[in-house]
């Protein structure tokens, strides 16, 4: 099937990888593991099909170790695809809520947050942390309610976002 995709002009596939933590992936309802992700990304890029992986940092209940697992997975995927005809690029974001999602309902039901707090979005500007000015083109995707949802503080999450963005560019 991958050969057929390549022959028909597929140049890139976008994957909602989300996390490097098996526990979090299960919690999110994803039916993947980090090992499956490594295998799929390797198989695609070996055939010259690039992959854009989407990740979330700071997901509710995420531990610092799980945050590190996600960052490690991104680095692993860069290493796995080194020298392959296809390439791996990452799009990583701070967790944000959307009304009507399962996580929205879980957080509202917990009683810890009011809906107004969870909708008080502000821009996240990573350029102050040394990320290239070109990152401003992603502003429509970088917004936050500035609430710590996992074990890592918001600043720690943003430090990892900055690190991965700088590494990629």
Lowest mean pLDDT among 2-11, 63-72, 126-135, 155-164: 126-135
Domains and CATH numbers, the chain: 2-168 (3.30.750.200)
- 116-137: b or e for each residue (b if 16 or more CB lie within 10 Å)? eebeeeeebebeeeebeeebee
How distant, in Å, are the alpha carbons of 12, 60, 153 from that of 17? 15, 16, 22
Selected residue with higher pLDDT from 120 and 18? 18
Q: How far apart are CA 154 and CA 82, in angstroms?
A: 31
Per-residue pLDDT tens digits for 127-143: 666 555 555 555 556 77
Per-residue pLDDT tens digits for 62-76: 999 999 999 999 999
Quickly state the pLDDT bin for 167 (edges 50, 70, 90).
Answer: confident
How distant, in Å, are the alpha carbons of 93, 104, 120 from that of 116? 21, 12, 6
Q: How far apart are CA 43 and CA 79, in angstroms?
A: 14
């Amino acid at each position: 099937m991958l050969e057929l995709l390549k022959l028909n002009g597929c140049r890139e596939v976008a994957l909602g990888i989300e996390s490097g933590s098996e526990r979090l992936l299960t919690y999110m309802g994803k039916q993947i593991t980090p090992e499956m992700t490594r295998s799929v990304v390797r198989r695609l890029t070996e055939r010259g099909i690039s992959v854009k992986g989407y990740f979330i940092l700071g997901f509710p209940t995420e531990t610092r170790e799980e945050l590190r697992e996600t960052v490690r997975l991104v680095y692993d995927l860069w290493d796995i695809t080194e020298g392959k005809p296809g390439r791996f690029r990452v799009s990583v974001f701070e967790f944000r809520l959307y009304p009507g999602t399962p996580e929205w309902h879980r957080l509202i039901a917990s009683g810890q947050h009011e809906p107004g707090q969870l909708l008080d979005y502000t821009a996240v500007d990573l350029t102050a942390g040394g990320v290239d000015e070109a990152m401003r083109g992603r502003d429509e995707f970088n917004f936050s309610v500035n609430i710590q949802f996992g074990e890592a503080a918001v600043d720690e999450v943003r430090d990892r976002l900055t690190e991965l963005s700088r590494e990629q560019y």
